Structure 1
Amino acid sequence: MENTIGILGAGAMGTLFAARLARIGLDVTMVDVNDELLQALRRDGARCHADEGLLQAPVRAARAEQLEAGPALWLVFTKSAHTRSALQGIAHLIGPDTHFLSLQNGIGHADVLRELVPAQRVAVGVTTWPARVISPGEVSSLGQGGIRFMPLDGVPGAVFERLASDLNRAGMHCRIDPQVQEAIWEKLAFNAAFNGVCALTRQPVDGLATPMGEGLLQRVLAEVLAVAHAHGVAASAERVNAAVRDALAHHRGHQPSMLQDLLAGRATETGAIHGAVLQVADRLGIAVPVTRTLYELVSLSGHAGAIAPR
């Protein structure tokens, strides 16, 4: 079972990871509820247009109920609002050695995962790889990224160490990081800014490379980082700003997931991103007017995901 891996959620990020991991020889099983998508994956494999060209590799693709046995390691890429139902769908595949890594946007996923497996078999983290769906089972991922994660109990163990090694063999720049909560909040700040502003302006990432666009991004970043610091997480403004500069310069034409969702008429993750910041900010008594406005505007679009903050 060491060369097998499951991917829960076959959207942009799930397909990106599937293509790269299957290409290095791992047996990848992708689970989703979209039959057209699953059919395309079975027919053509997972396809990713990357800086080095087209990455394409065969994968298994099925609905959860079609599987009688599953991998002992799963990457979770479902939308935040669907995490619990997706995990319940594969509950019959979860055994005493099943491990999970969530690289989902937002925060709070660990609590849902711990309802099914103990902390030592759950890891959470972030990825900065860009990905955009072109067609079912086919994504574009131009530009570079990285992955940082850490098991909840603070002890990597053989399963997660092997996963990090596999991700690095796949060229995905992964490291196990004890300071992953800082990375999670830094990614949350990055996502709150780019996802919210790009979604509402209908601009790709590099479309915000103007004084007005960058000024708005900076106001969101400042609010989220202030909440993180008050929450006891030493998120780095320097690292976030470096990531912003890199995205503006190199993620040309990239549409963040929230913009992709709005354009496709799907539910967004504003609840797990902006809403999550608001929940902590309200509890700590911190004003975050720009973040709140982004949340309300995306919500008013009629495609808000997750539960609204109090």
Structure 2
Amino acid sequence: MNDSPIIAIVGFGSLGALFASLLAPNMPFENLRIVADTERVNRYQQQGLLVNGEPLTLNYVTPNAITTPADLVIVCTKFYQLNDVLPLIESQLGDNTLIVSALNGIASEKVLANTFGDERIVYCVAQQMDAMKNEPHEKNGQNGSQLIYRDHGQLVIGAMTTDSAERARVQQVDSLFNQVNFPHSVSDDMPRQLWGKLMLNTGVNQTVALYQGTFDTVQQAGEAREMFKAAMREVMAVAHAEGVTLTEEDFKKWLAIMDALDPKGMPSMRQDLKAGRRCELDLFAGTIRELGDKHGIDTPVNDSLYDGISALMANNQSG
């Protein structure tokens, strides 16, 4: 592992912690960096992390502690936090550092490209994972964090264009992930992959959040499952208007991916709503409603989801 790459993770919620737990066994300790501000680094070090009940010690670093650029930065924050963590990302960059964004939606790569350059960006989607991060254990008298998951899923990377330089970047990240045995695959149709994941997220995240349930809420036949599927079909219509065709086979594939997840698991929006955190509603219903207006496509299900979840968020804030 002497030739192991240096990988930096920015954002240490459920996805960031999951990726760290998958990478740590296959990399030198110092080559995997969890980059955060001083307050968070101190908190992470004091609290510790349990992964499926087992302690995991990680290399938490502040931006000013960096002496060698990372080969890859994996961004795992919420979209509304992205502007705040741009300095953390910048602290990891050298001439050849690449950036992968595991954020929900279809907008984060554009923000990162505008800030750091298209030549650093490799598109990806995170799929098939059911990780949940919470704070049930105690260490040193403080509430610590625990990551629980059954399915670790994978990152799917790919090129959005036929540009040879972009395809070379994808190959570079593919090779890097192979070095550290990180679960991933390469898509030959990344726009379709990206929109397919948005289709699933728009359905499952919002419906489970509205019904305040778990994946089981939409895995079982009934009203919630029908809403989940109807929201997905609205995304299909909008995607087609945007020049990306999602087929019935795509619909069935993403449905099967969701149906295979741990019934007791929760999507990120439900976890955020339950914890009283801000939800990424604008990335899902907000995006589909806006594009629906642009193309003259009605989106009544996403309208209903937007209104219902907005009311739940308002109740959280007033409570």
TM-score range for the pair, normalised by the shorter chain length:
0.7 to 0.9
Q: 1:282 aligns with which of 293, 296, 315?
A: 293
Q: TM-score, normalised by structure 1?
A: 0.85
CA–CA distance in structure 2, aligned partners of residues 90 and 250 of structure 1: 31
> How far apart are 1:146 and its partner, in Å?
2.8
Tell me, yes or no, if structure 1 residue 156 matches structure 2 residue 168: yes
1:46-57 → structure 2 map (5 Å cutoff): 47-49=50-52, 57=56
CA–CA distance in structure 1, aligned partners of residues 83 and 179 of structure 2: 27
Cα 1:89–1:249, aligned 2, differ >3 Å: closer, same or farther?
A: closer
> How far apart are 1:294 and its partner, in Å?
1.1
Cα 1:85–1:144, aligned 2, differ >3 Å: closer, same or farther?
A: closer
CA–CA distance in structure 2, aligned partners of residues 34 and 290 of structure 1: 43
Where 1:146 maps in the other structure, the secondary structure is strand
Q: Is the 8 A contact 1:147 1:175 kept in 2?
A: yes
Where 2:206 maps in the other structure, the secondary structure is helix
Q: 2:195 aligns with which of 185, 189, 193?
A: 185
> How far apart are 1:90 and its partner, in Å?
3.5
Cα 1:210–1:30, aligned 2, differ >3 Å: closer, same or farther?
A: same
Where 1:155 maps in the other structure, the secondary structure is helix
Equivalent in the alignment of 1:116: 115
> How far apart are 1:92 and its partner, in Å?
3.7
Query: Cα RMSD between the aligned structures?
Result: 2.6
Which residue type is aligned with residue 34 of structure 2? M
Q: Flag the structure with larger Rg.
A: 2
Equivalent in the alignment of 2:45: 42
Please say which of residues 233-242 and 192-201 is displaced more in the overlay: 233-242
Equivalent in the alignment of 2:9: 7
> How far apart are 1:68 and its partner, in Å?
5.2
Equivalent in the alignment of 1:21: 23
> How far apart are 1:57 and its partner, in Å?
4.2
CA–CA distance in structure 2, aligned partners of residues 45 and 287 of structure 1: 47
1:1-310 → structure 2 map (5 Å cutoff): 2-26=4-28, 27-33=31-37, 35=39, 38-39=41-42, 41-42=44-45, 47-49=50-52, 57-65=56-64, 67=66, 69-128=68-127, 129-135=129-135, 136-143=144-151, 145-151=153-159, 153=163, 154-157=166-169, 159-166=172-179, 169-170=181-182, 172=183, 174-208=184-218, 209-302=220-313
> How far apart are 1:98 and its partner, in Å?
1.7
Q: TM-score, normalised by structure 2?
A: 0.83
Once the two structures are superposed, residues 83-128 of structure 1 have per-residue CA deviations (whole angstroms, 9 ceiling, x without a partner) of 1221134324322222100121111111111123222320121111
In structure 1, runs of 5+ residues without a counterpart are 305-310
Once the two structures are superposed, residues 102-160 of structure 1 have per-residue CA deviations (whole angstroms, 9 ceiling, x without a partner) of 12111111111112322232012111122101335431121352321125553134531
Where 2:285 maps in the other structure, the secondary structure is helix
Q: Is the 8 A contact 1:19 1:55 kept in 2?
A: no
Give the number of equivalent residue pairs.
296
